[in-house]
Amino acid sequence: MGSITLSKVVKRFGEAEVIPPLDLGIRDGEFVVFVGPSGCGKSTLLRMIAGLEDLTEGNIEIGGRDVSHLAPGDRGLAMVFQSYALYPHMTVRENMLFPLEMAKVDARTARDKVARAAEVLNLSAYLERKPGQLSGGQRQRVAIGRAIVREPSAFLFDEPLSNLDAALRVNMRLEIAELHETLGSTMIYVTHDQVEAMTMADRIVVLQAGRIEQVGTPLELYEQPRNEFVAGFIGSPR
Ligand code: ADP
Ligand code: MG
Protein backbone atom coordinates (compact mmCIF):
# COMPACT_ATOMS: atom_id res chain seq x y z
CA MET A 1 0.00 0.00 0.00
CA GLY A 2 2.70 2.48 1.01
CA SER A 3 5.49 1.19 -1.21
CA ILE A 4 7.11 3.89 -3.32
CA THR A 5 9.05 3.21 -6.52
CA LEU A 6 11.03 5.80 -8.46
CA SER A 7 12.03 4.71 -11.98
CA LYS A 8 14.51 6.70 -14.07
CA VAL A 9 13.39 9.90 -12.42
CA VAL A 10 15.07 13.01 -13.82
CA LYS A 11 14.68 16.65 -12.78
CA ARG A 12 15.99 19.58 -14.74
CA PHE A 13 15.51 23.25 -13.89
CA GLY A 14 16.18 24.86 -17.27
CA GLU A 15 19.65 23.68 -18.26
CA ALA A 16 20.58 22.46 -14.81
CA GLU A 17 20.13 18.73 -14.24
CA VAL A 18 19.50 18.61 -10.51
CA ILE A 19 18.53 14.92 -10.45
CA PRO A 20 20.18 12.67 -13.05
CA PRO A 21 18.32 9.40 -13.82
CA LEU A 22 17.56 7.90 -10.43
CA ASP A 23 15.98 4.58 -9.36
CA LEU A 24 14.84 3.85 -5.84
CA GLY A 25 12.48 1.36 -4.19
CA ILE A 26 10.97 1.96 -0.76
CA ARG A 27 9.08 -0.84 0.95
CA ASP A 28 5.70 -0.49 2.61
CA GLY A 29 6.21 0.52 6.23
CA GLU A 30 9.87 1.39 5.85
CA PHE A 31 11.47 4.43 7.52
CA VAL A 32 13.82 5.82 4.89
CA VAL A 33 16.06 8.84 5.45
CA PHE A 34 17.41 10.96 2.58
CA VAL A 35 20.64 12.52 3.75
CA GLY A 36 23.20 14.71 2.03
CA PRO A 37 24.66 18.20 2.04
CA SER A 38 22.60 21.31 1.39
CA GLY A 39 21.68 21.67 -2.28
CA CYS A 40 22.11 17.97 -3.16
CA GLY A 41 18.46 17.61 -4.21
CA LYS A 42 16.76 16.10 -1.15
CA SER A 43 13.82 18.52 -1.16
CA THR A 44 13.43 18.35 -4.93
CA LEU A 45 13.20 14.56 -4.75
CA LEU A 46 10.66 14.68 -1.93
CA ARG A 47 8.62 17.34 -3.70
CA MET A 48 8.49 15.20 -6.84
CA ILE A 49 7.19 12.27 -4.80
CA ALA A 50 4.62 14.59 -3.20
CA GLY A 51 3.58 15.98 -6.58
CA LEU A 52 4.64 19.52 -5.73
CA GLU A 53 7.25 19.44 -8.49
CA ASP A 54 6.86 17.94 -12.00
CA LEU A 55 9.13 15.13 -13.16
CA THR A 56 11.21 16.01 -16.21
CA GLU A 57 11.45 12.30 -17.03
CA GLY A 58 10.64 8.95 -15.45
CA ASN A 59 7.79 7.86 -13.24
CA ILE A 60 6.78 7.32 -9.63
CA GLU A 61 4.52 4.57 -8.30
CA ILE A 62 2.88 4.52 -4.90
CA GLY A 63 1.37 1.22 -3.84
CA GLY A 64 1.85 -0.04 -7.39
CA ARG A 65 -0.12 2.83 -8.94
CA ASP A 66 1.56 5.30 -11.28
CA VAL A 67 1.03 8.69 -9.64
CA SER A 68 3.40 10.68 -11.87
CA HIS A 69 0.59 12.81 -13.24
CA LEU A 70 -1.67 12.93 -10.19
CA ALA A 71 -2.21 16.12 -8.18
CA PRO A 72 -0.61 16.19 -4.71
CA GLY A 73 -3.98 15.71 -3.00
CA ASP A 74 -4.69 12.53 -4.96
CA ARG A 75 -1.49 10.69 -4.02
CA GLY A 76 -2.55 9.59 -0.52
CA LEU A 77 0.55 11.15 1.02
CA ALA A 78 1.10 13.62 3.82
CA MET A 79 3.92 16.14 3.76
CA VAL A 80 5.27 17.72 6.96
CA PHE A 81 7.42 20.80 6.45
CA GLN A 82 9.87 22.54 8.74
CA SER A 83 7.71 25.65 8.75
CA TYR A 84 4.68 24.65 10.74
CA ALA A 85 2.16 26.25 8.38
CA LEU A 86 -0.55 26.25 11.02
CA TYR A 87 -3.46 28.68 10.87
CA PRO A 88 -2.74 31.13 13.70
CA HIS A 89 -6.36 32.18 14.16
CA MET A 90 -7.63 28.60 14.56
CA THR A 91 -7.38 26.37 17.60
CA VAL A 92 -5.38 23.15 17.54
CA ARG A 93 -8.63 21.23 17.08
CA GLU A 94 -9.69 23.45 14.18
CA ASN A 95 -6.25 23.18 12.58
CA MET A 96 -6.49 19.38 12.67
CA LEU A 97 -10.14 19.35 11.53
CA PHE A 98 -9.45 21.59 8.57
CA PRO A 99 -8.00 18.99 6.15
CA LEU A 100 -10.91 16.66 6.97
CA GLU A 101 -13.47 19.38 6.30
CA MET A 102 -11.75 20.07 2.98
CA ALA A 103 -12.05 16.36 2.18
CA LYS A 104 -15.75 16.49 3.15
CA VAL A 105 -15.40 13.90 5.88
CA ASP A 106 -18.57 13.91 8.03
CA ALA A 107 -18.31 15.91 11.25
CA ARG A 108 -18.57 13.00 13.66
CA THR A 109 -15.90 10.89 11.94
CA ALA A 110 -13.68 13.96 11.70
CA ARG A 111 -14.02 14.64 15.43
CA ASP A 112 -13.10 11.03 16.24
CA LYS A 113 -10.06 11.11 13.98
CA VAL A 114 -8.82 14.35 15.54
CA ALA A 115 -9.34 12.95 19.05
CA ARG A 116 -7.36 9.83 18.17
CA ALA A 117 -4.53 11.79 16.53
CA ALA A 118 -4.39 14.14 19.54
CA GLU A 119 -4.06 11.14 21.83
CA VAL A 120 -1.24 9.59 19.79
CA LEU A 121 0.60 12.93 19.82
CA ASN A 122 -0.08 13.89 23.45
CA LEU A 123 -2.05 16.93 22.37
CA SER A 124 -5.40 16.13 24.00
CA ALA A 125 -4.93 18.82 26.65
CA TYR A 126 -4.11 21.48 24.07
CA LEU A 127 -6.98 21.14 21.60
CA GLU A 128 -8.59 24.48 22.46
CA ARG A 129 -5.36 26.48 22.32
CA LYS A 130 -4.13 28.54 19.40
CA PRO A 131 -0.71 27.92 17.84
CA GLY A 132 0.65 31.09 19.47
CA GLN A 133 0.05 29.53 22.89
CA LEU A 134 2.11 26.43 22.12
CA SER A 135 5.81 25.58 22.30
CA GLY A 136 7.77 24.85 19.11
CA GLY A 137 7.60 21.13 19.76
CA GLN A 138 3.86 21.23 20.34
CA ARG A 139 3.33 23.20 17.14
CA GLN A 140 5.36 20.63 15.25
CA ARG A 141 3.14 17.91 16.73
CA VAL A 142 0.02 19.73 15.54
CA ALA A 143 1.52 19.89 12.04
CA ILE A 144 2.07 16.13 12.21
CA GLY A 145 -1.45 15.71 13.60
CA ARG A 146 -2.89 17.45 10.57
CA ALA A 147 -1.11 14.87 8.44
CA ILE A 148 -2.15 11.87 10.54
CA VAL A 149 -5.90 12.56 10.44
CA ARG A 150 -5.99 11.89 6.72
CA GLU A 151 -4.48 8.43 7.28
CA PRO A 152 -1.98 8.73 4.45
CA SER A 153 -0.23 5.67 3.03
CA ALA A 154 3.09 7.46 3.55
CA PHE A 155 4.49 10.49 5.39
CA LEU A 156 7.08 12.80 3.87
CA PHE A 157 9.12 14.93 6.26
CA ASP A 158 11.39 17.70 5.00
CA GLU A 159 13.79 18.70 7.79
CA PRO A 160 10.87 19.01 10.18
CA LEU A 161 13.02 19.65 13.25
CA SER A 162 15.44 22.24 11.95
CA ASN A 163 13.56 25.10 13.66
CA LEU A 164 13.76 23.46 17.07
CA ASP A 165 16.50 23.73 19.69
CA ALA A 166 18.82 20.77 20.29
CA ALA A 167 17.05 19.28 23.32
CA LEU A 168 13.65 19.46 21.68
CA ARG A 169 15.06 17.94 18.51
CA VAL A 170 16.15 14.83 20.37
CA ASN A 171 12.70 14.61 21.93
CA MET A 172 10.84 15.01 18.64
CA ARG A 173 13.13 12.46 16.99
CA LEU A 174 11.97 9.91 19.54
CA GLU A 175 8.37 10.91 19.06
CA ILE A 176 8.52 10.53 15.30
CA ALA A 177 10.19 7.13 15.73
CA GLU A 178 7.39 6.16 18.13
CA LEU A 179 4.81 7.38 15.67
CA HIS A 180 6.34 5.13 13.04
CA GLU A 181 6.06 2.19 15.44
CA THR A 182 2.44 3.02 16.24
CA LEU A 183 1.19 3.69 12.72
CA GLY A 184 3.48 1.38 10.78
CA SER A 185 3.26 3.75 7.80
CA THR A 186 5.97 4.33 5.24
CA MET A 187 7.98 7.42 6.15
CA ILE A 188 10.54 9.35 4.14
CA TYR A 189 12.52 11.75 6.24
CA VAL A 190 14.86 14.35 4.76
CA THR A 191 17.72 15.76 6.78
CA HIS A 192 21.27 17.03 6.42
CA ASP A 193 21.96 15.80 9.97
CA GLN A 194 23.93 12.53 10.07
CA VAL A 195 22.95 11.78 13.66
CA GLU A 196 19.27 12.03 12.79
CA ALA A 197 19.82 9.73 9.81
CA MET A 198 21.78 7.15 11.79
CA THR A 199 19.36 7.01 14.72
CA MET A 200 16.03 7.07 12.87
CA ALA A 201 16.43 5.16 9.63
CA ASP A 202 15.65 1.61 8.64
CA ARG A 203 17.57 2.52 5.49
CA ILE A 204 19.54 5.61 4.57
CA VAL A 205 19.84 7.03 1.06
CA VAL A 206 23.02 9.10 0.79
CA LEU A 207 22.77 11.77 -1.91
CA GLN A 208 25.38 13.97 -3.51
CA ALA A 209 24.61 16.31 -6.41
CA GLY A 210 21.34 14.48 -7.09
CA ARG A 211 23.00 11.06 -7.28
CA ILE A 212 22.54 8.17 -4.89
CA GLU A 213 25.98 7.41 -3.47
CA GLN A 214 24.76 4.49 -1.40
CA VAL A 215 21.60 2.96 0.07
CA GLY A 216 21.79 0.80 3.16
CA THR A 217 21.03 0.32 6.81
CA PRO A 218 22.87 2.62 9.19
CA LEU A 219 25.14 -0.29 10.15
CA GLU A 220 25.90 -1.17 6.51
CA LEU A 221 26.85 2.42 5.73
CA TYR A 222 28.96 2.66 8.84
CA GLU A 223 30.77 -0.63 8.35
CA GLN A 224 30.95 -0.73 4.56
CA PRO A 225 30.84 2.78 3.13
CA ARG A 226 31.14 2.51 -0.65
CA ASN A 227 33.38 5.54 -1.03
CA GLU A 228 35.10 8.40 0.73
CA PHE A 229 32.06 10.65 0.49
CA VAL A 230 29.81 8.19 2.31
CA ALA A 231 32.51 7.42 4.86
CA GLY A 232 33.08 11.12 5.47
CA PHE A 233 29.43 11.92 5.69
CA ILE A 234 28.42 9.05 7.93
CA GLY A 235 31.51 9.51 10.03
CA SER A 236 32.85 5.96 9.83
CA PRO A 237 36.54 5.34 10.43
CA ARG A 238 38.00 4.80 6.98
P1 ADP B 1 18.41 20.23 -0.67
O2 ADP B 1 16.99 20.08 -0.23
O3 ADP B 1 19.18 18.95 -0.66
O4 ADP B 1 19.14 21.30 0.07
P5 ADP B 1 17.21 21.19 -3.14
O6 ADP B 1 16.42 20.04 -3.62
O7 ADP B 1 16.47 22.28 -2.46
O8 ADP B 1 18.41 20.67 -2.22
O9 ADP B 1 17.98 21.82 -4.35
C10 ADP B 1 18.75 21.05 -5.26
C11 ADP B 1 19.30 21.95 -6.35
O12 ADP B 1 18.23 22.37 -7.17
C13 ADP B 1 19.99 23.18 -5.85
O14 ADP B 1 21.09 23.43 -6.65
C15 ADP B 1 18.93 24.26 -6.01
O16 ADP B 1 19.52 25.50 -6.20
C17 ADP B 1 18.19 23.79 -7.24
N18 ADP B 1 16.80 24.21 -7.26
C19 ADP B 1 15.84 23.85 -6.36
N20 ADP B 1 14.64 24.37 -6.68
C21 ADP B 1 14.84 25.10 -7.80
C22 ADP B 1 13.98 25.90 -8.63
N23 ADP B 1 12.69 26.04 -8.39
N24 ADP B 1 14.56 26.49 -9.71
C25 ADP B 1 15.86 26.34 -10.01
N26 ADP B 1 16.71 25.61 -9.27
C27 ADP B 1 16.23 25.00 -8.19
MG1 MG C 1 15.94 21.03 1.34
pLDDT digits (tens, 9 = 90+) for 50-103: 999 999 999 999 999 999 999 998 999 998 876 667 999 999 999 999 989 988
* Diameter over CA atoms, the chain: 58
Residue 30 to residue 42: CA distance in whole angstroms: 18
Q: What pLDDT sits at residue 83?
A: 60
Sheet holding 57-62, edge to edge: 16-26, 4-13, 57-62, 65-66
Residue 153 to residue 142: CA distance in whole angstroms: 19
Span 125-129, mean pLDDT? 97
Better pLDDT: 234 or 224: 224
220 CA to centre of ligand 2 in angstroms: 25
Q: With a cut of 70, say whether residue 238 has pLDDT above it.
A: no
Q: Convert the pLDDT of each residue in 80-91 to its tens digit.
A: 876 667 999 999
Q: What pLDDT sits at residue 91?
A: 97
Span 204-223, mean pLDDT? 96
Sheet holding 186-191, edge to edge: 77-80, 154-158, 186-191, 31-35, 203-208, 211-216
ipTM beyond cut 0.85: yes
What's the whole-model pTM score?
A: 0.91
Q: 208 in helix, strand or coil? A: strand
Q: Convert the pLDDT of each residue in 8-62 to its tens digit.
A: 999 999 999 999 999 999 999 999 999 999 999 999 999 999 999 999 999 999 9
Q: Convert the pLDDT of each residue in 145-169 to its tens digit.
A: 998 898 899 999 999 888 778 888 8
Q: 59 in helix, strand or coil? A: strand
206 CA to centre of ligand 2 in angstroms: 14
Residues with CB under 6 A from ligand 1: 13, 18, 36, 38-44
Atom of ligand 1 nearest to the CA of 14: 25
Residue to mutate (ligand 1; options 9, 10, 11, 13; most atoms within 8 A of CB):
13
Residue 114 to residue 99: CA distance in whole angstroms: 11
C-beta separation of 155 from 186 below 8 A: yes
Residue 4's pLDDT band (cuts 50, 70, 90): very high
Q: What pLDDT sits at residue 171?
A: 83
Q: What pLDDT sits at residue 175?
A: 85
Q: What pLDDT sits at residue 54?
A: 96
| Closest ligand to residue 207's CA | 1
